[in-house]
């Protein structure tokens, strides 16, 4: 594919990377060039620590399927995390979408990462070496034995909860948890992590309603 089309311009900013998408060309052409850039001309951005990506669509109004296709292609490439998808006509809709809980299913194996912008409900197990990464809350209906990072964009109100919570590491915003053997619970079932006074605390999930009575999972 010729690089002269410039359907996608990738810019480095203080917060990470900005992908500026041509608003006039067919979406399938956009995906083709995006794949080409990530596989060939811009491979150097896929190494190192996690990088936040903002996607700017101009006046293009994407469907849910198109947004998911962009997220999936970018998120499966190395260390890139889609933080926002911005359209001139979709600011309010995009903000509202971050409040929804999106369901994922399967098993996250060693070396795999599932990333998401918003809240995540994961139905399955996360094995050691596997990772969940999102800007909102993380709920795992299964065993969380790998790494989970909630509130990635700096949201210290984010939560991490699991049916079985024995991770290799938990992170909320920039706060990292103590090792599980220091939590004070021998029973690892139905626990959640949250930030209080600048440090991470662990409690039983039946206490979630006391901390966040407005949360959809926080009822009694």
Q: Over the stretch 34-78, which tens digit does the pLDDT of each residue have?
A: 988 888 767 677 767 778 888 988 888 888 888 888 988 887 766
Cα 169 from Cα 37, distance rounded (Å) = 32
Give the 3-state secondary structure of residue 218.
coil
Task: Enter the pTM of the model.
Answer: 0.57
Residue-wise pLDDT tens digits, 151-208: 988 889 999 999 999 999 999 999 998 877 777 667 789 999 999 988 999 999 888 8
Give φ, ψ of 104 to 5 degrees.
-120, 150
- What's the mean per-residue pLDDT of the chain? 83
Cα 121 from Cα 119, distance rounded (Å) = 7
Comparing C-alpha atoms, which of 175, 180, 164, 174 is closest to residue 200?
Answer: 175
Q: Where are the domains of the chain?
A: 8-95, 99-211
Cα 150 from Cα 10, distance rounded (Å) = 26
pLDDT of residue 164: 95
- Domain over 8-95 is classified CATH 1.10.3470: no
Q: 2.40.440.10, 1.20.58.410, 2.160.20.70, 3.10.580.10: which CATH number matches 99-211?
A: 2.160.20.70
- Residue holding tokens 């309603």? 209
Report the Cα–Cα distance between both ends of the chain, in Å, rounded: 56
């Amino acid at each position: 594919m010729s690089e002269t089309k410039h359907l996608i311009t990738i810019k480095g900013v203080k917060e990470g990377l900005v992908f500026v998408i041509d608003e006039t060309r067919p979406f399938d052409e956009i995906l083709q060039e995006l794949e080409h850039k990530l596989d060939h001309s811009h491979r150097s951005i896929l190494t190192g620590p996690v990088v936040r990506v903002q996607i700017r669509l101009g006046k293009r109004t994407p469907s849910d399927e198109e947004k998911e296709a962009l997220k999936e292609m970018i998120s499966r490439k190395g260390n890139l995390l889609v933080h926002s998808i911005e359209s001139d006509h979709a600011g309010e809709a995009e903000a509202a979408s971050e409040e929804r809980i999106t369901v994922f299913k399967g098993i996250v194996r060693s070396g795999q990462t599932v990333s998401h912008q918003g809240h995540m409900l994961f139905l399955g197990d996360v094995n050691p070496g596997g990772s969940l990464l999102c800007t909102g809350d993380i709920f795992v209906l299964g065993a969380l034995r790998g790494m989970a990072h909630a509130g990635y964009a700096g949201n210290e109100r984010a939560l991490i909860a699991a049916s079985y919570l024995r991770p290799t590491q938990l992170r909320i915003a920039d706060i990292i948890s103590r090792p599980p053997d220091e939590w004070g619970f021998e029973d690892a079932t139905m626990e959640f992590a949250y930030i209080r006074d600048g440090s991470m605390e662990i409690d039983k999930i039946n206490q979630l309603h006391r901390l966040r009575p407005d949360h959809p999972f926080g009822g009694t």
